Amino acid sequence: MPSNFDFLKDTDKELFDTMEEAQRLYRSEYFNQCVITVRIFGEKMAKKILPADNSQTFDDILNTLKDKIKTQREKELIDDLFFIKKEGNSCAHGEKTSAMNALEVIKRAFEAGINYAYLKKPDKKTDSLRFDETLLITEVKKEDNKIIDKYLSLAQSESEALEENREFAKSEEKAFKKNKKEEIKKKIKQAKKNLKEKINKEEVKKNKTEQQKEKPAKKSKNTSRKQTKTQKNKFIKLILFLIFFAISLFLLIKIMI
């Protein structure tokens, strides 16, 4: 994972590992332990700048270094270490610190680390580094977060477009069903009309046949049989038509549902 203190990997691995632990504690919201760990980082750094015997405390080393300051960079480094020592001592004695204060301690450790690395090996690239709060919290660089946000935004837009297409498809399907129902209703209406006309025609024919029967006329037996057979055929055709219409009407209603 990328870290604000990656520049210390090559300069001093021990200091890098100490700050990695401090940042891990910060992300886990152990702010007091985080500040105490940063104090350990500061004390290790001070002893690397000014090797001392075991009888000298962190404060003794810092005061000695303060007397030897020659440049503004050295002054800033010692000031940051004094600040880290003071905050670390407070947390070590049980005073509760805040997330903002712990963040400030980590930032001061970052500045101290930059100056320490520059004093050991001057490098403009290292000197131009800036602390990234987003990287501390998410372990993802700010510029990478922008790329992630961009893709998330694109994904959101695509999702919204897909939802719009779904709504359009639903409206089209609804309109299609409505048109289909209207079409089926028209067909049923036309079928009823055709059936009515057919029945009327059959009634007219039947009436004419009955009227002809009422007229006194002599017909041969063969002619009478022929007429009877014709009427039966017509009646059978009417029955078949009604059955066909009923089946068609059932199928139309089935489709509409």
CA distances, 37 to each of 18, 82, 134, 253 (Å): 7, 15, 21, 80
The answer to the question of residue 232 being in a domain is no
The answer to the question of residue 92 being in a domain is yes
Please report the pLDDT score of residue 46 as a whole number.
94
- Confidence class of residue 150 from pLDDT cuts 50, 70 and 90? very low
Assigned token pair, 203: 């009634």
Please report the pLDDT score of residue 226 as a whole number.
67
Element (H, E) at 139: none
The answer to the question of residue 112 being in a domain is yes
The answer to the question of residue 173 being in a domain is no
Domain that holds residue 36: 8-140
The answer to the question of residue 169 being in a domain is no
What is the value of pTM for the model shown? 0.56
- Confidence class of residue 217 from pLDDT cuts 50, 70 and 90? very low
b/e for 191-228, b at 16 or more Cβ within 10 A? eeeeeeeeeeeeeeeeeeeeeeeeeeeeeeeeeeeeee
The answer to the question of residue 31 being in a domain is yes
Phi, psi angle pair for 26, to nearest 5°: -65, -45
Q: Number of structural domains, the chain?
A: 1
Q: Once rounded to an integer, what is the mean pLDDT over residues 207-226?
A: 62
Q: Which residues contact 249 (CB under 8 A, 6 or more apart)?
A: 188, 191
Gap between the Cα atoms of 196 and 111, Å rounded? 99
b/e for 89-114, b at 16 or more Cβ within 10 A? ebbeeeeebeeeebbebbebbbbbbb
The answer to the question of residue 58 being in a domain is yes
Gap between the Cα atoms of 105 and 20, Å rounded? 14
Packing angle, helices 58-67 and 31-49, rounded to 10: 50
Evaluate whether 58 touches 85 at the Cβ level (below 8 Å): yes
Q: Which residue has the higher pLDDT, 204 or 100?
A: 100
Please report the pLDDT score of residue 19 as a whole number.
97
Q: Which residues contact 65 (CB under 8 A, 6 or more apart)?
A: 46, 49, 50, 74, 78, 81
Assigned token pair, 159: 């999702």
Q: Is the pLDDT of residue 252 over 60?
A: yes
The answer to the question of residue 78 being in a domain is yes
Please report the pLDDT score of residue 1 as a whole number.
82
